[in-house]
Structure 1
Amino acid sequence: MRLLLTSAGIKNASIHDALVDLLGKPIAESNALFIPTAIYPFPGGPYMASRAISGKAPSPMSELGWKSLGILELSVLPSIEEAAWVPTVRDADALLVWGGDPLFLANWMQRSGLADLLPTLRSEAVYVGVSAGSIAAAATFVETYTEPPRGNDGPLKSEDIVFATPQGNVDRILVTGQGAGLVDFAMIPHLDHEYHPDASLANAEKWAARIPAPTYAIDDQTAIKVTDGIVDVVSEGHWKLFTP
């Protein structure tokens, strides 16, 4: 399986070209499944999922002109027979894994059986992550929360650092979580983004120190491309690699 891990979707021509290269054919000839699961823990999650699926979200993904686009909701998979959904996943050219809560997403990737299925997919299949969808691909990741995650949100490794955002008015809890382990590095998206003030370069360095693997901090104009284990950075913005 190939991967394109983005901060905010297919934001520029370089990332678009990387996606087409991974697919090995035009997007118009490729079938995709959209996974909105990570967005549901957020207030208004169903509306945000609808905007993303219909191509009205700020992170381009579903509106790229796919030959066909289906919806794969991970939380329903444990209640249906594998024969009803596994062949559909195996036939897909791309899995579009949307953003939201990476801890919640990683939990449902495990509970649904998708995490075990992904490494068995054909080599031409492409996992395309957005934000949390990219974060959860790692074996170990970090994320910030305003409140301690619930016990059923996913496997925690620790949740013991509290810090203030640059505005100084919201305390954040830094959680170390367990992801799907599809790659041997980790990602911190939205680097230095005005609407993600805690994802500063200084904080990214502190977070990366908690991860026992190389960690890429990337902005919204950057993506990580993985082909047969070879990692390439595709960027029209800025990024930084932290090593253990």
Structure 2
Amino acid sequence: MKLLLTSAGISNKSIHNALVELLGKPVSEANALFIPTAIYGIAGGSQIISKVICGTIGDPFCQLSWKSIGVLELTALPSVKTELWMPMLQETDVLLVGGGDCQYLCYWMQKSGLAALLPPLLHKMVYVGLSAGSMVMTRYGTTYGNHTLTSETNKSLNFVNFAIHPHLDHEWFPQNSLANIEQLAASLPVTSYAIDDQTAIKVNGNLVEVVSEGHWKQFSS
């Protein structure tokens, strides 16, 4: 399993290098698919998607000189024949999963069938998450509640046995102070990583590594 779980995208050279190491080749030789689904769960999400794709908001993600890049919208997949999108997924080197609402994303990853397909695919494909796109692969997720899903709906997929708390001490997220995250981490039964936007968690098989040019802290369970 190859994961690069970021707070804000490919925000510095260290995280970029980690991506290249997981790929085993330059970004310019890799085919990417972008999953924007999670962003629909936040206010104004549909307007943010185009900015992420065009690279006019946040750190580089879609705009990394990929060999090719496509968009895979999970909410459409249940109504589309599998043979129309499965080949595209199988030929992808990198799955870019954007931020937004963890619970909404988790639901559609399961509803679309993608969650069940990921385990074998991640032996050859690299999964790159951004914020909620990272958290959904862990043991902890959040929601903004701007959807009709019940509170019991899963918020994460538990692919890895730890939690991530992104955007540490970010001015846009005052609730993400180190003190608040430490209190939250103490309530979870797994190791937690508080990471700022210059930090990512790299997972390669059983090896978990923090890649950072910023600030982060690990909390044991």
- Fold equivalence (TM over 0.5): yes
Q: Quick one: structure 1 residues 14 and 88, their matched pair in 2 at CA, closer, same or farther if it must change by over 3 Å?
A: same
Contact 1:14–1:235 under 8 Å retained in 2: yes
Shift of 1:12: 0.4
Shift of 1:68: 0.2
1:239 equivalent to 2:216? Answer: yes
1:191 equivalent to 2:168? Answer: yes
Shift of 1:210: 2.9
Aligned position for 1:125: 125
SS of residue paired to 2:175: coil
Shift of 1:43: 2.5
Contact 2:41–2:146 under 8 Å retained in 1: no
Distance 2:147 2:38 in 1: 15
Greater fraction of residues in helix: 2
SS of residue paired to 1:78: helix
Residue type matched to 1:17 in 2? Answer: N
Shift of 1:155: 4.0
CA-atom RMSD in angstroms: 1.6
**Higher-RCO chain (CA-CA 8 Å, sequence separation at least 6):** 2
Greater fraction of residues in strand: 1
Residue type matched to 2:59 in 1? Answer: S
**TM-score between both structures, scaled by the size of structure 1:** 0.86
Where in structure 1 are there 5+ consecutive unaligned residues? 157-176
Distance 2:173 2:54 in 1: 24
Spell out the pairing of 1:197-236 with structure 2 (5 A cutoff).
197-236=174-213
SS of residue paired to 2:142: strand
Shift of 1:150: 4.8
- What is the percent sequence identity of the aligned residues? 54
Spell out the pairing of 1:1-244 with structure 2 (5 A cutoff).
1-121=1-121, 123-138=123-138, 140-143=139-142, 145=144, 150-152=147-149, 155-156=152-153, 177-244=154-221
Shift of 1:151: 4.9
CA-to-aligned-CA distance 1:154-183 (integer Å, 9 cap, x gap): 744xxxxxxxxxxxxxxxxxxxx5312221
Residue type matched to 1:102 in 2? Answer: C
Shift of 1:143: 2.7
Shift of 1:124: 2.7
